Structure 1
Amino acid sequence: MREALRRWAPGLAALLAYRRVDLGPDLRAGLAVAAVAIPVGIAYAELAGFRPEVGLYSCVFPLFAYAIFGSSRQLVLGPDAATCAVIASAVAPLAAGDGAAYAALSAELALLTGIICILARFLRLGVLADFLSKPILIGFLNGIAITIVLGQLAKITRIEGTGGHVLHATFDLVLRLGETHPPTLLIALGAFGLMIASGRLLPAFPAAVLAMAGAALAVFLLGLDLAGVKTLGVVPAGLPGVMLVRLDPDALAALVPAAGGLALVSFTSMMLTSRSFASKNGYEVDPDKDFAALGAANVVSALTHGFAISGADSRTAMADAAGGRTHAAALFAAIAVALVLMFLTAPLRYVPVAALGAVLVMAGLSLVDLATLRLIARADRAEAVISLLATLGVVVLGATQGILVAVVLALLRFLRMSARPRVEILGRVAGMPGFHALSRHESATAPHGLVIFRFNGPLVFFNAGHFRHALLAATSAEEGAPKAVILDLLPVTEVDVTGLFTLKEVSDALRQRGIALVGAGRQTEWRNWMVTHGFNPDGIDIHPTLRKAVEALAAADTDQSDAGDTKAS
């Protein structure tokens, strides 16, 4: 029973073995997380197009779901900038301004995302955590950051009618800057100032809390709502009930791809967060279990009037910094948010929308990672270009289509790397054992009359032509035809039928030129592959190591020389 619990509900298994010594640190961490989650949840609800209470609903019951099924002790789920941007991009065109339809479609999107995540767990697709490369993920998040910042400009200036595509809306807003509402702009600037000052003077205090509280107090004391400053208005008190999510057949064609992309991006970013904190605190997380836990949390969010959520890096960092040790910290945070919903919603009516816009701008700017982009550019300019293309895809096409761009870029990157593995010619370096690439060692020399060829990848249908061309080119580049080519088989992790046919064709072509082709490494494995596919295992000699292959060819060359000398004498 205990083993089954650890397998299917690792969080619950950990909570059942809870230690009293962890109660104090977890309680303090939970309250700290709630202090961040409340203003951020409200701000992200605004970003996704919801009333503020919906953002708080998404910070309560989903956390219980992850605490039961998740494997990370410190990960906190909740509304996330990237997921909220995708929700707005996917749902707004379908809802066409109908608030009830918007809420229903968002719940349907969250439910579909959850179902896809749960199915992915049973298909053991946790490996998708590594699917989006660092450059692509950085580019995607940079694009999300730009769209968030540009999307808030209308809120902090109160220039009406700047909807539509974010670039068009921004251009329109710049042309109409003269229509800026001064009190609204002053509130936003004050919120920015409070957040910047808080970050420098009170780094342990949630800056968003201070900004929203200060702005709400200014509205209340100065009557700024009467001067045209938009506020949240009345926020209903109480916890959400359970609702039945109805799947709209007409919307499925648009929502299923969006849900798939949302599942991939939210899971990938969540695993980056959970793995980093797990590594810091000396434990492991299980990607497959966390895929299911993310799915359960999204299903629960859909059933309790919430929207799709993901791992929240800022709230997870807060839980860790405040000393949170177990899943209970997230539960205490959820309970604190629930208490605010039940008893403390009245002050929220004075929170100005401009202050939320300022909070979202700061959140968007925190997603921008130019330092990592510079490091990527130094390491590989092609990867930096891919990262910039992912950013451009999000900004120009929108968050939903931006996911598709990111996925296509990831696939193209994978195909490029697989279809064109690195090819190396090996030789000896004085004072160093083994064989090394001639291109990386100026003093390396190839064995006389031999080409040692290394193909760093599987030999399969989509790179077999590259293999043939590179190997034949290597033999043609030698001064005088080599006597033999040694193929280093250790990096060749897989071979299919096309690869074996190509190998035979290359062997025949070399034999016609008087060049022998031999292999080194994976001796038993390669012979088994060739026998299984009906090739003659004696057609190509396979030696256990490169050294053995070189020695065997040198011995054969010596024998031939001796035989020639004997015949001549």
Structure 2
Amino acid sequence: MDESKGVCVSRLLSLMPGLASFKDYRKEWFKDDVRAAFSVSAVALPVAIAYAQLTGVNALVGLYSCVLPMMVYALFGTSRQLIVGPDAATCAVVAAVVTPLAAGDSIKHWQLAMTMTAMTGFWCLIASRFKLGVLADFLSKPILMGLLNGVAITIIVGQASKILGFSFDERYLLDRIAAAPGYLSQIHWATLAMSLGAVLIFLLVKRFRPTWPAAMLVIVVSTLVAWAANLEQFDVALVGDVSINMPAFQMPAFDIGIARELVMPALNLAMVSFVSMMLTARSFAAKNGYDIDPDKEFRALGIANIASALSQGFAVSGADSRTAVNDASGGKTQLVSLIAALIIGIIAWLFTAPLAFIPSAALGVVLVVASWSLLDLKTLWKLRKRDQRAFLLAMTTFVAVLLIGVIPGITLAVLLGLFQFLQVVMRPSDQCLGLDAKGTLRSLDGSDKAVAVPGVFIYRFNSPLTYFNASYFKRRLLERIAAEPETPECVIIDAVPCFTHPDISVMAMLSDLYALLKRRHIRLILAGRKRQLLSWCEAQGIPTGEGGLLIRSDLYLALKMNQAYKQALADGQAPVLKRPVDLDLVLEHSHL
């Protein structure tokens, strides 16, 4: 009975890793977690309302997008510090996809946002089911850097209209920038004054009270001013009534064909959200000395997005600013998320009336400040000197987001990550190996640290061999052999890095390569993965052993066996090496 109970508990903890921290919770952590929860709530409240406007839905929806997702992640996530919620990049993506499809219908816009959020969650669950947590490493840091900088500039330019008190007629970023001079005459001075006041409050708080929640104070003071001065009479745009009726759970009011338009954008969003979240989660996990599970994080993100959709919210991801606040405030466990979600939920359900007086300009300032933290053009430009390849990838993604929009830019970023991976796998680096003065195998790099073994060509291919790089491997090897001053008597291939799995195309290439070298009177030896290669060659009918393809346990043994073979030929003996002789040849590599 106890054993069965233990198995159930183990399965439950595997499904909900967050329960482990509650199971072993220490009483002394509670004070820190409560303090961190209030700090997180103070940052999350204004940002969530601002991101709701960015997404194009009611301000209250931003709060709903915090409550249930934060609770879900607290149970299913493996990070102790990560806070999930609305994020600048995810909201920009949802808005870019949903706005043209909704065609001005606010209810349709909301339903599409929920549908896209649910699709994003399902994509994450599918990825977790197939253990695709490795995708956290798929979008390289330079690509993500270019993407986030492009998204940040897109948001900042888009919010300029709210800060200055006019509306853009143009949809795309470059069109808006080109038309900017024509909008100068439309600046609403009362709105601009409100915006400048919000910026001043933010700067003063950061200067004199850096530990205070600056964004929250901007919203509170701006709301009080708008209410006391009745700024609506001066045509200053306010959030307005946020007491909304939730859409009933029914078939969407839009055509199912429109929903199909969300499938691929939702996949892109799932990818970008996960990579961005993992960068944040890993950095704080490393700082606090623990590990996270990428596959379980994928599942947690998926469940959090589905929870957001069910609570009528929009897409969420890991929020780096709120996570940083949590860590800086001393948050120890995911109890921070549960308490913060409770605080936000109480405000969303009981204290919605004051939200109606929040000036849109103040929210625009909060969004610009949040986006400014994503903007890091200086580091982007530094890549130019450190890594030209990384700089090109980052700039390509950055320019694509600016020129063709967020969604096509994200698609291009994903494709760039794929092409980068394929290029590394299909056209990897390779080395010729030799021996140094101590008899250790080293790369022949043009220095005098190692020299080639006379009559022997040792080759290493730094990628797993598969059908799409097998021909390149063969061509590259033959080119390297042809470039040698003298034709080698023996070619030894390091099989460990390249022969990782059986592939019919690879084995066919190996058979052709063996036959080609044999016609040139060159012995071919594979070193490493002996048992696997013997079984694979047997399955494909490739002869092995003396008179066939030679397979040895490692590079040093391959060299000694070849040395013994040459000695046997020189002594006029039959060059047949039996197992007892092989064992005698297993010597220290320093004797070579």
> What's the TM-score, normalizing by structure 1?
0.93
Q: Distance in 2 between matches of 1:230 and 1:61?
A: 30
- CA shift, 1:196, in A, is 3.0
Deviations 1:84-140 (A, max 9, x none): 011101111110001111011111111222222223322322222222222222222
For structure 1, which segment, 63-72 or 445-454, has the greater mean C-alpha deviation from structure 2 after superposition? Answer: 63-72
Which string of whole-angstrom CA distances, capped at 9 and with x for unpartnered residues, describes residues 358-387 of structure 1?
A: 111121121123354356444431222112
Cα deviation for residue 191 of structure 1 reads: 2.2
Residue 221 of structure 1: CA displacement?
4.5
1:189 to 186, 196, 220: 196
Determine the structure 2 residue equivalent to 1:174: 181
Q: For residues 246 and 30 of structure 1, do their structure 2 counterparts lie closer, same or farther at Cα, with a shift above 3 Å needed?
A: farther
Q: 1:241/1:252 Cα in 2 relative to 1: closer, same or farther (>3 Å)? A: closer
Whether 2:417 is the aligned partner of 1:410: answer yes
- Alignment partner, residue 246 of structure 1: 251
Of 44-53 and 502-511, more deviation after overlay is shown by 502-511
Q: How many residues matched?
A: 561
| Correspondence list, 1:257-272, <5 A | 257-272=264-279
**TM-aligned CA distance change 1:453 to 1:263, over 3 Å:** same
* 1:394 CA displacement: 2.1
Correspondence 1:552 to 2:588 = no
Q: In structure 2, do the counterparts of structure 1 residues 180 and 440 end up closer, same or farther at CA, with 3 Å as the change threshold?
A: farther
1:466 aligns with 2:472: yes
Q: Which amino acid aligns with 2:147?
A: F
Q: Is the 8 A contact 2:112 2:259 kept in 1?
A: no
- The letter of the residue matching 2:443 is A
Q: What letter corresponds to residue 249 of structure 2 in structure 1?
A: L
Structural RMSD (CA): 2.2
Q: TM-score, normalised by structure 2?
A: 0.90
Give the match for residue 424 of structure 1.
431
- Is 2:71 aligned against 1:31? no
Describe the shift of the 1:551–1:16 C-alpha distance in structure 2 as closer, same or farther (beyond 3 A): closer
User: Do the aligned residues in 1 keep the contact of 2:458 with 2:492 (CA within 8 Å)?
Assistant: yes
**Counterpart amino acid of residue 477 in structure 2:** L
Instruction: Give the conservation status (yes or no) of the 8 Å contact 1:162–1:173.
Output: no
- 1: CA distance between counterparts of 2:475 and 2:125? 45
Residue 98 to residue 442, structure 1, CA distance change in 2 (3 Å): farther
Helix, strand or coil: the match of 1:479?
Answer: coil
Report the alpha carbon displacement of residue 401 of structure 1 after superposing the two structures with TM.
Answer: 2.1
SS of the residue corresponding to residue 262 of structure 2 reads helix
After alignment, is 131-140 or 371-380 more displaced? 371-380
Match of residue 484, structure 2, among 457, 478, 482? 478
1:502 paired with 2:509, answer yes
1:306-346 per-residue CA deviation (whole Å, 9 max, x = no partner) reads 11111111111111111111111011111111222244333
Does the 8 A contact of 1:244 with 1:303 survive in 2?
no
Q: Is residue 62 of structure 1 aligned with residue 69 of structure 2? A: yes
2:208 maps to 1:201: yes
Q: Secondary structure at the match of 2:570?
A: helix
Residue 516 of structure 1 pairs with residue 523 of structure 2: yes
What residue is the counterpart of 2:129 in the other structure?
122
Letter in 1 for 2:352: T
Q: SS of the residue aligned with 2:261?
A: helix
1:383 aligns with 2:390: yes
**Residues 44-63 of structure 1 correspond to what in structure 2 (within 5 A)?**
44-63=51-70
Distance 1:534 1:380, change over 3 A: farther
Given candidates 484, 497, 516, the residue that maps to 1:491 is: 497
The residue type paired with residue 106 of structure 2 is: G
In the alignment, the residues of structure 1 paired with residue 229 and residue 472 of structure 2 have an alpha-carbon distance, to the nearest angstrom, of: 73
Aligned to 2:549: 540
Match for 1:481: what amino acid?
A: T
In 2, the alpha carbon distance for the partners of 1:426 and 1:199 equals 58
Q: Residues 517 and 540 of structure 1 are in contact (CA less than 8 Å); yes or no, is this contact kept in structure 2?
A: yes
Question: Greater shift after overlay, 417-426 or 490-499?
Answer: 490-499
Q: Distance in 2 between matches of 1:563 and 1:68?
A: 74
The unaligned stretches of length 5 or more in structure 2 are: 1-7, 574-592
Query: Gapped runs of 5+ residues in structure 1?
Result: 565-569
- Alignment partners' CA distance in 2, 1:377 and 1:456: 26
Post-superposition offset of 1:241: 6.2
2:152 corresponds in structure 1 to: 145
For residue 254 of structure 1, report the CA deviation from its aligned partner.
0.5
Query: Would you say 1:155 and 2:178 are equivalent positions?
Result: no
The answer as to whether partners of 1:108 and 1:246 remain within 8 angstroms in 2 is no
Which residue in 2 is equivalent to 1:436? 442
State the shift of 1:13 in Å: 4.7
| Per-residue deviation, 1:562 | 4.0
**Could you tell which deviates more after superposition, 44-53 or 133-142?**
133-142
* Partner Cα distance (2:541, 2:196) in 1: 75
**Per-residue CA shift, 1:416-472, capped at 9, x if unaligned?**
1111111111112335x5211112644321111221111111222111121111111
- Out of 81, 86, 91, the position equivalent to 1:84 is 91
SS at match of 1:258: helix
